[in-house]
Structure 1
Amino acid sequence: MTVIAMIIAGGRGVRMKNHTPKQFLHIFDKPMAVYTLEAYEKHPGIDEIEVVCLDGWQDVMQQYGKDFGISKLVNVTRGGADGQSSIRNGLESIASRHNDHKDEVMVLVCDANRPMVSEQIIDDCIRVCQTHGNATASVPCATAVLHIGDQALVEMPQQQALSSQTEVPRHELRLTQTPQAFYLDDILDAHHEAEARGITGAVASCTLYAQIDRPIYFSEGSDKNLKLTTPDDIDIFKALLVASDPEQYVQKFRQKEME
């Protein structure tokens, strides 16, 4: 079996409020996406890395592979208009290299902006996929959740506020992360079925499966497996890096402050 990490780096990162797409922002001494690439590069169970990249930034990503020693990086392909189409582009690129044995290829769909993914999370995702046919890293929901319907989609006057009268019991929920693992032939078939049914704009592979009524199995995630979406998330990530190796990162932080 061939195990491929497919890193999705196709977003523009509007919520990061920066002209540079978030996956290319430098945090201490390297771009955000490189931390993620290094996690999969170091994992002994990963054979190849495919990156699906924001159009126009492919050469930059290829250069990262050379500069930071990402030897498993075999291809950088163009992202699509949204997450669903970007994932499909990456899958089709992988299929073009492994067309004769798609049932023997496992693909881990991974967010480029989850740089704290651990070896244990990757291990469990692969294990659950081998046992059940797919796997999505997840954690229990530990906070109160209220349902607001489609209020957030409607522009409201500034003096009004969103409201709810409906609790969603948190024991019924799982918060999904990446990696999300699938066999190549199965996830390609899921994308073809979704396209035939007119399903577009799925925000993740696990939600695509849910929309076409296919079961999703959960592997273990972690609260540290952060998705860096806002400037606050980057501050938390920096703090975790410093805590993981104070001597190394405090020095880098001081150097950055002096620039």
Structure 2
Amino acid sequence: MNYAIILSGGIGTRMQMGDFPKQYLEVEKKPILLYTLEQFQKSSAVEKIVIVAADAWREKIRGWMEEDGITKFLAFADAGDTRQESIHNGLTVCMEDSVSENDGVIIHDGVRPLVSEQLIGDCLAALADHEGCMPVLPMKDTIYQSSDGTKIDHLLERSTLFAGQAPEAFRLHPYAKINREASEEELSLTRGTSEIAYRHGMDVAMIPGDERNFKITTRSDLERFCTIVEGETK
């Protein structure tokens, strides 16, 4: 069985929307989160969905899912102080339901609503040969390193650099064990979903990502998403 953990507990400060979480902004009368959930509902590779969300939004989310026919929902998990703490909470819910050592988990941002069924399936399919998988994009621009943001220190080798995306997939039991045994400090310092996995020796493969699968972080990202949705609904 494959579980999906959808992270929907954050507040988008870079969107400059105050305390209103960007994943609940409506585009064409539908919250961004619901666009994301629909993709995992449609995916034949995913059986159950866990949503990490604050208590205050859960009743709303339940209503949206009922109206939209999201039937794979398993449970909510508590939002943590950091991304990795939220993931750990989601993993705990999955482990309480899991009955097989072969179960997988795929972790995704609620604000990446254009994830394709193909990418979801490809990530989970990679678990047949690897313990984890993340989609990446090659760097197109020349990349410089600067310690102070005002002068160049180094020119980095572009061919060895990749931009990571979500979703990221893992064999559930070993990944959950690593997170369960990690200290609070390690969880708080973990910057990416796959970081804690490869740091503890898990075999994490990279597969081609999707340019369309962008994260809605800024107003310009939101405008881009709105343009895409409006174009598809005409």
- Give the TM-score normalised by the residue count of structure 2: 0.92
- Aligned alpha-carbon RMSD (Å): 1.8
Counterpart residue type for residue 130 of structure 1: A
- Give the TM-score normalised by the residue count of structure 1: 0.84
Match for residue 133 of structure 2 among 132, 135, 146: 135
Describe how 1:206-225 pairs up with structure 2 within 5 A: 206-225=194-213
Partner of 2:119: 121
Partner of 1:64: 64
Q: 1:16 & 1:26 partners in 2: Cα distance? A: 14
Percent of aligned pairs with the same amino acid: 26
Seen in structure 2, the aligned counterparts of structure 1 residues 97 and 171 have a Cα distance that, compared at 3 Å, is same
Describe how 1:156-235 pairs up with structure 2 within 5 A: 162-195=150-183, 198-235=186-223
Contact conserved, 1:146 with 1:167, CA < 8 A, in 2?
yes
Deviations 1:184-239 (A, max 9, x none): 11111221343288453323221222443544211221111010001100111122
Describe how 1:22-171 pairs up with structure 2 within 5 A: 22-98=22-98, 100-101=99-100, 103-149=101-147, 151=148, 162-171=150-159
- Deviation at residue 167 of structure 1 after TM alignment: 1.3
Q: 2:6 & 2:182 partners in 1: Cα distance? A: 21
Task: Give the match's secondary structure for 2:197.
Answer: helix
Q: Which runs of 4+ in 1 moved over 3 A?
A: 196-199, 210-215
Task: Give the match's secondary structure for 1:137.
Answer: strand
- Deviation at residue 57 of structure 1 after TM alignment: 1.7
Partner of 2:16: 17
- Deviation at residue 146 of structure 1 after TM alignment: 1.4
Aligned length: 233
- Deviation at residue 178 of structure 1 after TM alignment: 0.9
Seen in structure 2, the aligned counterparts of structure 1 residues 62 and 163 have a Cα distance that, compared at 3 Å, is farther
Task: Give the match's secondary structure for 2:56.
Answer: coil
- Deviation at residue 141 of structure 1 after TM alignment: 1.3
Q: Which runs of 5+ in 1 are unaligned?
A: 152-160, 250-259
Q: 2:201 & 2:152 partners in 1: Cα distance? A: 28
Deviations 1:106-134 (A, max 9, x none): 10001110000011111211111222121
Structure (1 or 2) with the larger CA radius of gyration: 1
Q: Which runs of 5+ in 2 are unaligned?
A: none
